[in-house]
Amino acid sequence: MDNVRIGIIGVGGMGSAHANSMKDVPRATLTAICDIDEAVCAAKAEAFGVPGFTKHTELLDSDLVDAVIVATPHYFHPPIAIDAWSRGMHVLSEKPISVTVKAADEMIAAWRKSGLKFSVMYQMRTEAIYIEAKRIIDSGALGEIYRTCMVMGWYRSQAYYDSGGWRATWTGEGGGVLINQAPHLLDIFTWLAGLPAAIHGEVRTNLHDIEVEDEAFAVLTYPNGAHGYLYTSTTEAPEAHLIEISGDKGKLRIQDGKIRLWTVDTPVRQHNRESEEMWSSPRGTEVAVDLRETDSGHRAITANFVRAILDGEPLIAPGEEGLNAMEMINGMILSGKTGEKVSVPVDRDRYEALLAELRASSQGKSRLREQRVTDPQHQ
Ligand SMILES: NC(=O)c1ccc[n+]([C@@H]2O[C@H](COP(=O)([O-])OP(=O)(O)OC[C@H]3O[C@@H](n4cnc5c(N)ncnc54)[C@H](O)[C@@H]3O)[C@@H](O)[C@H]2O)c1
């Protein structure tokens, strides 16, 4: 095979953006689309000049595709991916890979059996600052990690929440800011600092007329006893992005698109043990961080997925690593709803039981003004 025939399942805002950018992905061709909504399916099939299907199984059985991008609401990612692998097709899933850790486990188990490719659209992994941050941490430059911090304050309007019946409902989406906006930075945060062993969180609905959380915060405890602090919301403008990781030998801060690194002349633990001066402390120096130009964004993840299929290139965002963000999302909701500090890995059955209760209590949408508009940042 020297070209990958790609089908896109779910051609709303994000799926349409993927379809539009397919012409710029080398050795890939958009050959079919699927959307459960008949009118959307017909309009997009005409717009992209490819056959359209209203059932994903019809697309998978059409013999038209080698791989699929799944860009439906999150609950459908695991079952559609599992159907694709069972028919021999590679899968690039939109984020998050699922709504629950249990569904993610099932998805990963099915992928392992298939021997096919599984990638997830965590396109922030292609940005130079995060690639460099990962290289710095993996090099051991920070030493043992003592503290982490993640702040992701975003803004979403009520009109955004009213734009789709599935959005911000327990039955349609399975969470709020944690499952929709935060997964990107949660993926980077856990990619860099690893998973905590425990999460003590709170979730609340602060600003919007929605039934799920638009604000969440937590204290994290890591396996080595280190602590972390996490805050995320869709109630903040201008937006804020911060990841800070502080260790025995230095500190890394990524804030609003910039990366800064400091190292100390003596590791903190060693200084504490050896120094006899009352007011001394390890001296920190800022170190310049060189950023390499990268091919970034959604298209870069799709292009890497295609090269992984054709050339065996390692995936930038392997699908199974999508489980990390799920542990954080489910852990924070479970802790916030029960008031308990919860362990990671999250108790699968307990989270399923909680979500079943939340789904049963769902009121659905009191106001719906449907729009399928691609986020201008993603066009
Ligand atoms: N990676 C990113 O930067 C990014 C950005 C936005 C959205 N997303 C993800 O993309 C997914 C879709 O979000 P969106 O904003 O495009 O939503 P959307 O509502 O605009 O589009 C979803 C589309 O899927 C269709 N659909 C629903 N169920 C289906 C099914 N079972 N089979 C086929 N089609 C189905 C709907 O009719 C709709 O057209 C979500 O999981 C979201 O988290 C990712």
Cα 71 to chain centroid distance, Å, stands at 13
Q: What is the predicted pLDDT for the residue at 368?
A: 85
Answer whether residue 372 shows pLDDT above 80: no
Q: What is the predicted pLDDT for the residue at 262?
A: 98
The residue whose CA is least distant from atom 28 of ligand 1 is 72
Q: Which of 8, 9, 11, 14 to mutate to test the pocket of ligand 1 (most atoms within 8 A of CB)?
A: 14
Q: What is the mean pLDDT of residues 224-231?
A: 98
Predicted TM-score (pTM) of this structure: 0.96
What is the SS3 string spanning the chain? CCCEEEEEECCCHHHHHHHHHHHHCCCEEEEEEECCCHHHHHHHHHHHCCCEECCHHHHHCCCCCCEEEECCCHHHHHHHHHHHHHCCCEEEECCCCCCCHHHHHHHHHHHHHHCCCEEECCHHHHCHHHHHHHHHHHCCCCCCEEEEEEEEEEECCHHHHCCCCCCCCCCCCCCCHHHHCCHHHHHHHHHHHCCCCEEEEEEECCCCCCCCCCEEEEEEECCCCCEEEEEEECEEEEEEEEEEEEECCEEEEEECCEEEEEEECCCHHHHHHHCCCCCCCCCEEEECCCCCCCCCCHHHHHHHHHHHHHHCCCCCCEHHHHHHHHHHHHHHHHHHHHCCCEECCCCHHHHHHHHHHHHHCCCCCCCCCCCCCCCHHHC
Q: What is the predicted pLDDT for the residue at 373?
A: 74
> Does 74 contact ligand 1 (Cβ within 6 A)?
yes
Selection from 345, 325, 347 nearest residue 337 by Cα = 347
> Does 34 contact ligand 1 (Cβ within 6 A)?
yes
pLDDT in tens, 85-144: 999 999 999 999 999 999 999 999 999 999 999 999 999 999 999 999 999 999 999 999
**Which residue is it, tokens 């970034």?**
296
For residue 307, the number of C-alpha atoms closer than 13 Å in the C-beta half-sphere is: 13
User: Distance from the CA of 92 to the center of ligand 1, in angstroms?
Assistant: 13
Give the confidence band of 146 by pLDDT, cuts at 50, 70, 90: very high
**Alpha-carbon Rg for the chain in angstroms:** 22
> Does 125 contact ligand 1 (Cβ within 6 A)?
no
> Does 317 contact ligand 1 (Cβ within 6 A)?
no
Output the CA–CA distances (angstroms, integers) from residue 74 to 33, 69, 110, 222, 290, in the order listed. 18, 13, 17, 28, 36
Closest ligand 1 atom, residue 122 Cα = 1
Bridge pairing between strands 235-247 and 250-255? antiparallel
Answer whether residue 376 shows pLDDT above 60: yes
pLDDT in tens, 165-213: 889 999 999 999 999 999 999 999 999 999 999 999 999 999 999 999 9
Closest ligand 1 atom, residue 9 Cα = 33
> Does 8 contact ligand 1 (Cβ within 6 A)?
no
Domains of the chain: 4-123+296-318 (3.40.50.720), 125-293+325-360 (3.30.360.10)
> Does 95 contact ligand 1 (Cβ within 6 A)?
yes
Q: What is the predicted pLDDT for the residue at 378?
A: 64
Q: What is the predicted pLDDT for the residue at 370?
A: 83
pLDDT in tens, 232-291: 999 999 999 999 999 999 999 999 899 999 999 999 999 999 999 999 999 999 999 999
Give the confidence band of 364 by pLDDT, cuts at 50, 70, 90: confident
Answer whether residue 379 shows pLDDT above 60: no
Selection from 144, 178, 156 nearest residue 235 by Cα = 156
β-sheet with 90-93: strand ranges across: 52-53, 28-34, 4-9, 67-70, 90-93, 118-120
pLDDT in tens, 19-52: 999 999 999 999 999 999 999 999 999 999 999 9
Q: Which of 9, 36, 83 to mutate to test the pocket of ligand 1 (most atoms within 8 A of CB)?
A: 36
Q: What is the predicted pLDDT for the residue at 119?
A: 98
Please, what is the average pLDDT of the chain? 96
Bridge pairing between strands 198-204 and 250-255? unpaired
